[in-house]
Amino acid sequence: MKTDSIFYRLFQEFPSIFFELIGNPPETASSYQFSSVEIKQTAFRIDGVFLPTQGERNPIYFVEVQFQTDADIYLRLFSEIFLYLRQNKPRNTWRGVVLYPTRGIDTGEIEHYYEFFTSERVSRIYLDELGDAASLPIGIATIKLIIADENTAITTARELIDRTKQAVNLQPQQQQLLELIETILVYKFPRMSREEIEAMFGLSDLKQTRVYQEGRLNAKLEAVPRLLALGLTGEQIAQALDLDIVQVQQVIEQTPPNESV
């Protein structure tokens, strides 16, 4: 399962989930922009970085998703972080978060970095220890779906889909969350087609409704300014989102300059 791409999409589309995960108010996400960052002149790439969009009081959050044992994980992580700090010289302070499916995967040596963990500048989150999915917020429960076994995943996915359908009458974010849940299921059940999964979890009928179609279109249009800010052209955005170029250009023309740079 391509967990890196799943987590990147999850935090890109639902940054509030990350802040819920680390115990902050989900509204904190409005002050951040999420991206993957490549460190120049090295082979390093940080899985995800939440950069503050306003003020110097909010910390930068470096996020690492680690689903395989790696004795050098912290050697690599701190090398990436400090190279980033050297190259970019941000005024904001920083925090690190490492996500593991289970505690057993955390095999990295922390002796040289002990103080970062005791001070909680860097925290480790073990997804299987977050609690029962039914008692968690929808976003965090969706993260737990990623690590669920097949039998648990079926039950959990149905519960999540029902909870999502009932939340705020299928507004754009609910539409995106349903599609993300579906994508996770496609990865978890590779022997099944997307159409079979849609039928199994009652998503096929839902997708035919006018409300769903309109919500999906609105969600795509709302993504245009974010992709524009990442440097994509109108044509590339239209292709990536399966939109007409005219629709994309209309959104671009209505986007304030400070949101597209």
Query: What is the count of structural domains for the chain?
Result: 2
Q: Are residues 125 and 169 in the same domain?
A: yes
> Which residue range is the domain that position 176 belongs to?
3-193
Contact predicate 215/170, CB 8 Å: yes
Q: Are residues 179 and 246 in the same domain?
A: no
| In the predicted structure, residue 63 carries a pLDDT above the cut 90 | yes
Q: Which of 58-62, 234-238, 254-258 has the lowest mean pLDDT?
A: 254-258
| In the predicted structure, residue 206 carries a pLDDT above the cut 70 | no
Cα distance between residue 172 and residue 78, in whole Å: 37
Q: Are residues 13 and 51 in the same domain?
A: yes
DSSP tag of 190: T
Contacts of 141 (CB under 8 A, 6+ apart): 133, 134, 156, 159, 160, 163
User: Which tokens is 255 given?
Assistant: 């986007």
Which residue reads 């997708």 in tokens?
207
Quickly state the pLDDT bin for 171 (edges 50, 70, 90).
Answer: low
- Beta-strand ranges (E) seen in 66-185 are 94-100, 122-126
| In the predicted structure, residue 170 carries a pLDDT above the cut 60 | no
Quickly state the pLDDT bin for 260 (edges 50, 70, 90).
Answer: very low
pTM: 0.76
Domain presence at residue 29: yes
pLDDT for the residue numbered 141: 93
DSSP tag of 121: S
Contact predicate 147/101, CB 8 Å: yes
Task: Report strand pairing: 94-100 vs 122-126.
Answer: parallel
Q: Are residues 65 and 149 in the same domain?
A: yes
User: Which tokens is 2 given?
Assistant: 């391509």
Quickly state the pLDDT bin for 150 (edges 50, 70, 90).
Answer: confident
pLDDT for the residue numbered 214: 65
